[in-house]
Structure 1
């Protein structure tokens, strides 16, 4: 193998360095000791479903089209997949130059593209994703035993450390099997649990050490199988403590008379309901008929007895958590006050996007903001959030932008109209209506802007610096190590540690050679991890 790209989701030097210093990661330590290393600045938004596509295409979301976990069609939505990434991946460009690849567990790669080699999709795919070639996942399971896209920490309940370690090591085993079978020029192996552990168990040192030590074992397996000339280690973003506030963006918009609320189940449905009814069981996307309990709770909500008000009564009595644990999710949703999207001027749809969308007439089905009002309403949103201060008198956001100041390309129209950047990424965004603008972050750890990059091998100049390395630079850098020209559409450039290859004009991207998505069981996992608001 000429080049192996290792992806450690959500990993940054403040997280990794103490583990290296304690001698817990001998394989990664040996790689880093030989490498030139540095911080890797992520994009906006610095979250898995958009950041990994940006890394493996070398272009910003305005050119590939994915901004978060969701795609939107009017007020409807669905979980994104690889058909939404409308730019060439680096393994597709390698295939164009007759070089083969093995790609394992990389997010947003299902359904897989047809290349010389193999693709086993990762995060944001169904549990049994359509890989390439057809039947390859079955072959992997037959060769190594159990292999699953999602791990023990991705589902509710307290996962055992042994199960976590075994799941993580299967990544290395699957990769080694595929390398032996396909003998590729390029390999890409990603680990998602390095991020998940900080969302689920951020203060559990045993769990953190378990995840990273098992990743180290899997990396050792991959290195032994591939014997690569070059090794590049990257992360899509960093992670760390959130010491600020939870910012209820839609509550702010409601206070500013830009958002309307509704009760009785007519707003955004819960992702638990979507996953169980439409995605896991293969039912249609139509709104399911409510049951008797749901209709009753919905009627109460319509006269003001909402789930939020009930919780406010139960909380001082110590009963809120118990009632939440036994109440059916659909019934809670039916009684929850929610955003009335058609009636609102502005709203946050998906907090992962870091943005606010306007309800524009002629663009949304029931838009209320006329095209001649667009600039004025958007300017108002920008001014309000730019001036917003937390209860301590500090600015909530370090920047608030119109979308065209952040993104460039043919898919800018798919972006939120306003992009908000939390101050030092210490404030947690929430789109739910909870009665107050500010609260305690629901997660004590979350994403930061700086990840990491390390590179070693004969095509890497160890005397050069990785200062100012950006997420978009990884794809052209990897291509350079294989002597393949980068696309002239890429926003990134080869890092100074490699001899750059020239830019080339490739054929227009076409969504061909991909299977049609026919199943998703992913939305409930995303809600469980806190990525999607449940009301």
Structure 2
């Protein structure tokens, strides 16, 4: 038998975006992912309850900081400044990460593809950012991405947007391989005590190939190969596998809260504002920037804009046009050829400054109040704020689907859901869909209910498995929560959890107490302002 490799890696954290038992069990049964299966069979494993909201940009920071969004400050893909918005990035994560806490204890780390880690902060080790980063992200230390590309060849954060069908699946496999190869290269270079590698394609495949079990298997087989090679090369003492949420089919309805709020006189609409990004404005922006082809020279955008605006004035909005085009498979084709101003002219949108309350971003799961003194053109006096929030809780709690089922399993004031210094950045009223089986949409103009726009949805329960030295494989992990991952990882390395953490060490590992770490200096937020990142979010249905 060959000697085991001598490395310093104490704990490896493998992140499977959207990983859950309902996806993994069939793969285990078919022998498709032997390395992952072995980790689950030899260690302690169970469901991992996610947070509110259970989406990548907020849930991964919660997992790797151990605190709820009210403490780290990220509630969705978008951050808001008045009525303006930008895609979130690492400057919005205002809490120490696992690798920063370990750096405080003199331990080094290698982090590859973790979401919302661009631009990176300094620590002992190496980091290549993941989701929400630009295609050529800043890495830590400076120049690291050039080194990786020189050593390994191409390294990308995303697949090319024009890849389709079988080519896209090939890109999934290549991206997965890039993560594993880059991680092994950096592990050899830095010899870290902690390693974290995240795989995003295990989520993306459900958004872009819904119901395609064979493609899902292809992605997971590619991940399993990389996990096996990492285990062989790095030989960590402990391995933790964790996901940010689960994944499953929608069987409910699409519900549009802004339609209900408009009927109650709380939402005003317009066809003249910029509004939130939509299917057509994102594609049109790409066209304007020369990324989706060229308009014919004889196109007259001004004429088209007036025509579409005229249709909107009699109720024929771009949402309805899109529904008709989508029915015959032409929505994407047309979206790529409609100038931005034309799309906006025909889109009925929430008029945020004129409205009293509205849902801005479906991912953050909540309704915002247009509060006087807080929003640039707030119309709700502070004396009416509490009463309006309570009325919204009552109104939304009573909403039922056309089948007579409640749309929401919980509607509550944000202070009942989150805690910490950034609670006021959350929506004022939080709306948790029933079993995450009801799709929320910010659309207006098409009625309150419709079939879900997306066939698959994030679910509450992800997965966690812990295997290796000192781990009790018989431990009951049935109550594991997303916030427990960070303190558990620290405990496997003999490092106390931060006393600010909301989670606890899972029973498979011996706890080592808590300590107060130096206060985190949040500093100022920096802009993402990256049209390509926005377009990719729109492609996956995260921006409507």
What residue is the counterpart of 1:400 in the other structure?
A: 411
Aligned-residue offset at 1:113? 1.3
* Secondary structure in 2 matching 1:198: helix
Once residues 184 and 121 of structure 2 are traced to their aligned partners in structure 1, the CA distance between those partners, rounded to angstroms, is 21
8 Å contact from structure 1 (residues 301, 336) kept in 2 = no
1:192 aligns with 200
Structure 2 length as normaliser, TM-score? 0.91
Match 1:268 to one of 260, 263, 276 = 276
Matched, 1:217 2:225: yes
Q: Tell me if the contact between 1:112 and 1:514 (Cα under 8 Å) persists in the aligned partners.
A: no
Quote how far apart the aligned CAs of 1:156 are.
6.4
How far has the Cα of 1:379 moved from its partner?
1.4
Q: 1:416 and 2:439 equivalent?
A: no
Q: 3-state DSSP class of the match of 1:39?
A: strand
Match of 1:157 among 151, 155, 164: 164
How far did 1:146 drift? 1.3
Shift in CA distance, 7/254, structure 1 to aligned 2, threshold 3 Å: same
- Equivalents in 2 of 1:102, 1:375: separation in Å? 46
Secondary structure at 2:466 match in 1: strand
For residue 168 of structure 1, the aligned residue among 154, 172, 176 is 176
Match of 2:347 in 1: 336
- For the pair 1:14 / 2:25, whether they are aligned, the reply is no
How far apart, CA to CA, are the structure 2 residues paired with 1:518 and 1:101?
A: 29
Distance (Å, rounded) in 2 between the aligned partners of 1:383 and 1:227: 54
Q: Please give the alpha-carbon distance, in whole angstroms, between the structure 2 residues aligned to 1:341 and 1:124.
A: 26
1:447-462 maps to which residues of 2 (within 5 A)? 447-462=458-473
Structure 2: how far apart are the matches of 1:310 and 1:419? Answer: 29
| Corresponding residue number in structure 2 for 1:285 | none
Q: Which moved more, 1:349-358 or 1:513-522?
A: 513-522
Contact 2:91 2:524 in 1 (8 A): no
Separation in 2, partners of 1:296, 1:518: 29
Contact map agreement 1:61 1:411 (CA 8 A) in 2: yes
Structure 1: 5+ residue stretches without partners: 283-289
Q: Are residues 1:133 and 2:144 paired?
A: no
Matched, 1:509 2:520: yes
- Verify the 8 A CA contact 2:280 2:338 in the aligned structure 1: no
Contact map agreement 2:274 2:344 (CA 8 A) in 1: no
Q: Is 1:113 matched up with 2:124?
A: no
Deviates more, 1:263-272 or 1:85-94: 263-272
Conserved? CA contact 2:499–2:515, under 8 Å: yes
User: Per-residue deviation at 1:163?
Assistant: 2.8
SS in 2 for 1:71: strand
- Structure 2 Cα separation of the partners of residues 266 and 514 of structure 1: 24
Task: Specify whether residues 469 and 279 from structure 1 end up closer, same or farther in structure 2 by C-alpha distance, changes over 3 A only.
Answer: farther
- Residue 388 of structure 2 corresponds to which residue in structure 1? 377
What's the offset of the Cα at 1:315? 6.4
What is the rounded CA distance, in whole Å, between the counterparts of 1:337 and 1:191 in structure 2? 37
59-68 vs 264-273, greater mean Cα deviation = 264-273
Structure 1 range deviating more: 295-304 or 123-132: 295-304
Please, which of 287, 296, 299 is the counterpart of residue 306 of structure 2? Answer: 296
How has the CA–CA distance of structure 1 residues 434 and 329 changed in structure 2, closer, same or farther, with 3 Å as cutoff? farther
CA distance in structure 2 between the partners assigned to 1:124 and 1:309 by the alignment = 27
Q: Distance in 1 between matches of 2:526 and 2:337?
A: 39
- Give the TM-score normalised by structure 1: 0.93
**1:102/1:187 contact within 8 Å kept:** yes
d(CA) in 2 for partners of 1:41, 1:384: 28
Q: Deviations over 1:155-182 (max 9, x none)?
A: 6633423332122111110100000100
Pick the aligned partner of 1:4 from 2, 12, 16: 12
Residues 176-212 of structure 1: CA deviation (Å, up to 9, x unaligned): 0000100000000000000111111121122111100
Distance 1:365 1:531, change over 3 A: same
The offset of 1:521, in angstroms, is 2.7
Q: Deviations over 1:73-114 (max 9, x none)?
A: 100010000000000001000000010000000000011111
What CA distance in whole angstroms lies between the structure 2 residues aligned with 1:503 and 1:279? 52
Q: Deviations over 1:412-452 (max 9, x none)?
A: 00000010111111111110114210000011111000000
Structure 2 residue runs of 5 or longer lacking an equivalent are: 1-8, 291-299
Answering whether residue 496 of structure 2 is matched by residue 485 of structure 1, we say: yes
Q: Number of aligned pairs?
A: 525
After superposition, the Cα gap between the structure-2 partners of 1:151 and 1:35, relative to the gap in structure 1 and judged at 3 Å, is farther
Quick one: distance in 1 between partners of 2:283 and 2:374? 28
Counterparts of 1:234-245 in structure 2 under 5 Å?
Answer: 234-245=242-253
1:521 counterpart SS class: helix
The DSSP-based 3-state class of the residue aligned with 2:473 is coil
State the alpha-carbon separation in 2 of the partners of residues 316 and 269 from structure 1: 18
Query: Quick one: which of 113, 127, 132 aligns to 1:124?
Result: 132
Q: CA separation in 1, counterparts of 2:173 and 2:486?
A: 30
Q: How far does residue 122 in structure 1 lie from its aligned partner after superposition?
A: 0.2
Q: Which moved more, 1:254-263 or 1:175-184?
A: 254-263
Query: 1:311 maps to what in 2?
Result: 321
2:511 is aligned to 500
Distance across 1 between alignment mates of 2:369 and 2:280: 26
Q: After TM superposition, give the deviation of residue 258 of structure 1 in Å.
A: 0.9
* CA deviation after TM superposition for structure 1 residue 333, in Å: 2.7
Residues 26-79 of structure 1, C-alpha deviations (whole Å, 9 max, x = no match): 211222221110000000000000000000000000000000000001000100
Provide Cα deviations, 1:106-128, integer angstroms capped at 9, x if missing partner.
00001111111100000011111
Per the alignment, residue 70 of structure 2 pairs with 62
Residue equivalent to 2:455: 444
